[in-house]
Chain A
Amino acid sequence: QSVLTQPPSVSGAPGQRVTISCTGSSSNIGANFDVHWYRQLPGTAPKALVYGNNHRPSGVPDRFSGSKSGTSASLAISGLQADDEADYYCQAYDSSLNGPVFGGGTRLTVL
């Protein structure tokens, strides 16, 4: 069981908008720690997509956006493209574990 909870899968048609939720607790997201999002293509390392709740690293298009409220966070992907198919992970710091915790990952399928 992952400390942060994500839906196992989401899907959408090309051009559509999808959101991926990430639910934590009072020791991580609810403690006002920042949420980060990573994308992982098969057989490759994770790559940062959103950091500090709603900031994008250089090179990440503005189709990707993050938000946070209370003990939850969300990643929104608009204008879905075929190469958006990947696994997406949320991450936050957890004060009870003294380290980062991840969600279980969400597989995005572009129909």
Chain B
Amino acid sequence: EDQLVESGGGLVQPGGSLRLSCAASGFTFSVYNMVWVRQAPGKGLEWISYISSSSSPIYYTDSVRGRFSISRDNAKNSLYLQMDRLRVNDTAVYYCARRAFGWGDYGLDVWGQGTTVTVSS
């Protein structure tokens, strides 16, 4: 079964840093483009970053550009999100998701269970 498992969430003070990880299993991770999506408490889904299978290109939504950094290690079947200068409104559940092949534009066919990031003093 194709699976994604996030880890690394937790409680951090404003201005702090966290590194999220997403471990892939059951499929050839190295050929898939990946994204991070977050969901603030009681809110909808928000895409925050994209990385291609080869790590280029990379894109960010405006609210995290310059503070967050996406990366991957295909040898370790892992996706990462380095989050610096965290703000209270970065509080959310963070999901990694796989961009599907053959699903048209940007369909996301496999999602992790999410990891919770809480930014609070």
Contacts and interface: CB of A to CB of B under 8 A. Distances in A.
**Size class of the contact patch on chain A:** 20 to 34
A111 interface: no
Contacts of A44: 113
A107 to B, nearest CB: 11
22 contacts: A34-B103, A34-B107, A45-B95, A45-B112, A45-B113, A46-B45, A47-B111, A48-B107, A51-B100, A51-B107, A53-B104, A91-B45, A92-B106, A93-B106, A97-B61, A98-B50, A98-B59, A99-B47, A99-B61, A100-B47, A102-B47, A105-B44
Interface of A: 2, 33-34, 36, 38, 44-48, 51-53, 55, 57, 89, 91-93, 97-105
Interface string B23-65: 0000000000001010000001111011000000001010000
Given A91-B108, A99-B59, A99-B61, A51 B103 contact: yes
**Size class of the contact patch on chain B:** 20 to 34
A98 to B, nearest CB: 4
A48 B109 contact: yes
A18 to B, nearest CB: 19
Nearest to A34: B104
